[in-house]
Amino acid sequence: MKRFAVIGLGNFGFHTAKALFEDGNEVVAIDIDKSRVQAIDPSSTEAIVLDATDKEALKSLGLENMNGVIVSTGTKISISTLICLYLQEIGVKKILAKALDDDHAKILRRVGATEIIHPERDMAVRVSRSLSRPNVLDFIPLAEEFDLIQVGPPREFIGKSLRDLNLRAKHNVHVIAIKELVPENFLLVPPASFVIKDSDILIMLGKSEDIRRIKALK
């Protein structure tokens, strides 16, 4: 069972918390508005009335032990920015933050957000693709113990070929594609001779525990 916190219980935050809880996760739902907290209480593990811009109050919740914290506050950019900064300082590893626009997204990344959410934009893309390309899968459901991720290469990978790294034998993960950023290119099933650059993004498939070990490399 995974543990998540959702900060900000407007429409997006409320439904995110509810969906996570219904999927069998432990969910701590947080908002400064008592009525919102009362509304989510039946669909959460714990619902808390709290001002998330109070760093000491946030520290008391043990959020650094969560699998992820979702920040979904209102239209005041300063509030979500401050919360993301505090979460990073507390030691939260995975911070998913809702952005109002591209500039807001840049600020959130600078203060610690590891993933940016654009709810309206992302839903618009999904709807348009489902209409124009109905035969294309929107996502690939994986067994729970497997992850499909994109990650920057650890320092020890740079300058080495996939053959030299032999990731399948040494780490039990598969590099199924590579996004080259300089110049921009997408390489599906890269050859063993491909030499990894620091500007590349590796798309890997493997067991969650093996993927975590790769991500832990510096």
Do 106 and 7 lie in a common domain? Answer: yes
Residues 203, 153, single domain; the answer is yes
pLDDT tens for 134-158 read 544 444 556 667 888 888 898 899 9
62, 91, 123 - which closes a domain:
123
Q: Which residues of the chain have pLDDT under 50?
A: 135-139
pLDDT at 140: 53
Residue 69 · residue 90 · CB < 8 Å:
no
Same domain, 72 and 158: no
The predicted structure's pLDDT at residue 39: 96
Among residues 116, 123, 121, 74, which one has the least CA distance to residue 98? Answer: 116
pLDDT at 137: 43
Contact 70, 16 (CB under 8 A): yes
Q: Give the domain CATH number at 54.
A: 3.40.50.720
- Domain assignment of residue 175, given as a range: 146-216
pLDDT for 141 equals: 52
Task: For residues 52 and 87, give the distance between their C-alpha atoms in angstroms, rounded to a whole number.
Answer: 10
- Amino acid identity for residue 116 in this structure: I
pTM of the model: 0.62
The full 3-state SS of the chain, as one line of letters, equals CCEEEEECCCHHHHHHHHHHHHCCCEEEEEECCHHHHHHHHHHCCEEEECCCCCHHHHHCCCHHHCCEEEECCCCCHHHHHHHHHHHHHHCCCCEEEECCCHHHHHHHHHCCCCEEECHHHHHHHHHHHHHHCCCCCCCCCCCCCEEEEEECCCHHHCCCEHHHHCHHHHHCEEEEEEEEECCEEEEECCCCCCECCCCEEEEEEEEHHHHHHHHHCC
pLDDT of residue 99: 92
Q: Is the peptide bond before 183 cis (omega within 30 degrees of 0)?
A: yes
Query: How many domains does one find in the chain?
Result: 2
186 domain-assigned? yes
